[in-house]
A and B are shown apart, each in its own frame.
Chain A
């Protein structure tokens, strides 16, 4: 089992969700996050004073999946979230030791 984490541009989130649903992903955790990479932040001017806005808003998507599905999921996210411009985000995969479905107590593959 693996945890797929993706950080994408906010306006791409709907496309990514749809593509993942079509593929068969039934659930995910989504959060509004902020950070920066090569895109950096920007400056804003209020009453003549410049403010450095270091952080850029992003959407973080987390999906736990079977090992066999992981490559497909990563590929779908990377393809759907791509605009080709700087700041498109990242996708990464981490191993997961155990999963428990809270309602039933099912473990691991049965809990996915």
Chain B
């Protein structure tokens, strides 16, 4: 098990990278140049705030055990029982940290729906309330041995429901509660720096191996489910499959998205490639342990193509889901969860683990609709819990401290209004020579004579 422990240290660091900087870059490049810093800061703030909250009461409320979940069969676990990791032994810290990174990125993902217009204070209050009332309870019910999984087991390998459907629903609800940006959809401008977005998507892809492959749970230890020959057999066999499935699904999704673009708009775009990568990763997240290699390609191709079409819906709905959290994460998450009902196979790792709730595989792999039904219930549970409580939190903030910066600040750029900064000084004109001031607040050394330095 030494190798497993070493891998979990790496996997945890990889998932941390997915939020800072990968998601910050992916989202930041898609905003306007006057609001990129605020967009990136929402990811960085989620890291700081959710990370500490997780250690203080998140682990206790979600898992409540020294090791994996406490299996209490209840809707929630006590947030106070293991407050500050009380009674958690350091040998299990890496599992706490691995789960911490998932909570962080889920909260950060929501920020894409509400770009350019939200006060920093409202965001910080929101993520604390949201992880406490939505994320930790849902994680407890799906992963921590809570009520839902105990009564309605379903397959979600690495967080299609807990992370992506959850973030997608929350993003859509918040976009509705907070309202559209000034001038949307006509005057909000195109993505300002797609190179950042391409870098972010690539880093997300790399980090996602920690996310998916790191989500292995050993059924060979202390369990009657002995489908694998040994712990090593399961470690090698299962990580091989999840790594392979994550890879081929993402490739297929990128091509699927690009194919739709080429047919509908005539050109395959870089933003389409980056978006397709993420859509594929989202869809294979729940399914990477339950489908075959070819099944994973199908999951990816379908997710890429469908998400490419789903992102247009927000214009018909009049919903300013700014960076398409609903179109990519909710759509991709639901697809990934439901496609298991068609493509799930009992020769997959989770099949060998004996985790298929219906016993048989998916509809296309000799099973009946029972598996699809279990998957559907998992989706509905997450959508309802998250939808209702996110609406409550969103409205509470709206009518107390308020969500939005002023319209003037939003139009001038939230970066300066909320952070007192601007992201770029490419021509040297802002705050430099032509501003006529230089550094005003800090003492600065006498300027050396520059005689002859300039031609």
Interface residues of A (CB under 8 A from B): 44-49, 51, 53
In Å, the complex CA distance between A48 and B316 comes to 13
Q: Please tell me if the beta carbons of B315 and A45 are within 8 angstroms of each other in the complex.
A: no
Q: Please tell me if the beta carbons of B265 and A45 are within 8 angstroms of each other in the complex.
A: yes
Shortest beta-carbon contacts, A-B, top 10? A51-B190, A48-B312, A45-B265, A47-B311, A46-B190, A46-B271, A48-B311, A46-B191, A47-B271, A44-B190
In Å, the complex CA distance between A47 and B191 comes to 10
B269 within 8 A of A: yes
Residues of chain B contacted by A53 (CB below 8 angstroms): 190
B86 within 8 A of A: no
In Å, the complex CA distance between A48 and B312 comes to 6
Q: Please tell me if the beta carbons of A45 and B267 are within 8 angstroms of each other in the complex.
A: yes
Residues of chain A contacted by B315 (CB below 8 angstroms): 49
Interface of A is mostly: strand
B187 to chain A, nearest CB (A): 10
Q: Please tell me if the beta carbons of B265 and A48 are within 8 angstroms of each other in the complex.
A: yes
Q: Please tell me if the beta carbons of A47 and B185 are within 8 angstroms of each other in the complex.
A: no
B156 within 8 A of A: no
B290 within 8 A of A: no
B308 within 8 A of A: yes
* Contacts A/B (CB < 8 Å), 26 sampled: A44-B190, A45-B261, A45-B265, A45-B267, A45-B269, A46-B190, A46-B191, A46-B269, A46-B271, A47-B271, A47-B272, A47-B275, A47-B311, A47-B324, A48-B261, A48-B264, A48-B265, A48-B308, A48-B311, A48-B312, A49-B185, A49-B312, A49-B315, A51-B189, A51-B190, A53-B190
Chain B 270-290, CB-CB to A under 8 Å as 1, else 0, gives: 011001000000000000000
Interface centre among A45, A46, A48, A53 (most CB of B within 10 A): A48
> Which residues of chain B from 161 to 190 have a CB within 8 Å of any chain A CB?
185, 189-190
In Å, the complex CA distance between A49 and B265 comes to 10
A108 to chain B, nearest CB (A): 24
In Å, the complex CA distance between A93 and B315 comes to 49
In Å, the complex CA distance between A51 and B184 comes to 12
A50 to chain B, nearest CB (A): 9
Residues of chain B contacted by A44 (CB below 8 angstroms): 190
Residues of chain B contacted by A49 (CB below 8 angstroms): 185, 312, 315
Residues of chain B contacted by A51 (CB below 8 angstroms): 189-190
The closest CB in chain B to the CB of A50 belongs to B265
In Å, the complex CA distance between A47 and B27 comes to 13
The closest CB in chain B to the CB of A44 belongs to B190
In Å, the complex CA distance between A87 and B290 comes to 57
> Which residues of chain B from 280 to 326 have a CB within 8 Å of any chain A CB?
308, 311-312, 315, 324
A31 to chain B, nearest CB (A): 11
B116 to chain A, nearest CB (A): 15
A84 to chain B, nearest CB (A): 26
The closest CB in chain A to the CB of B191 belongs to A46
A73 to chain B, nearest CB (A): 24
In Å, the complex CA distance between A49 and B312 comes to 8
Residues of chain A contacted by B312 (CB below 8 angstroms): 48-49
In Å, the complex CA distance between A51 and B311 comes to 15
The closest CB in chain B to the CB of A48 belongs to B312
The closest CB in chain A to the CB of B328 belongs to A47
B168 to chain A, nearest CB (A): 16
In Å, the complex CA distance between A45 and B264 comes to 11
In Å, the complex CA distance between A48 and B185 comes to 13
In Å, the complex CA distance between A102 and B261 comes to 56
> Which residues of chain B from 184 to 217 have a CB within 8 Å of any chain A CB?
185, 189-191
Known: A46-B271, A49-B185. 13 other contacts (CB 8 A): A45-B261, A45-B265, A45-B267, A45-B269, A46-B269, A47-B271, A48-B261, A48-B264, A48-B308, A48-B311, A48-B312, A49-B312, A49-B315
In Å, the complex CA distance between A51 and B272 comes to 15
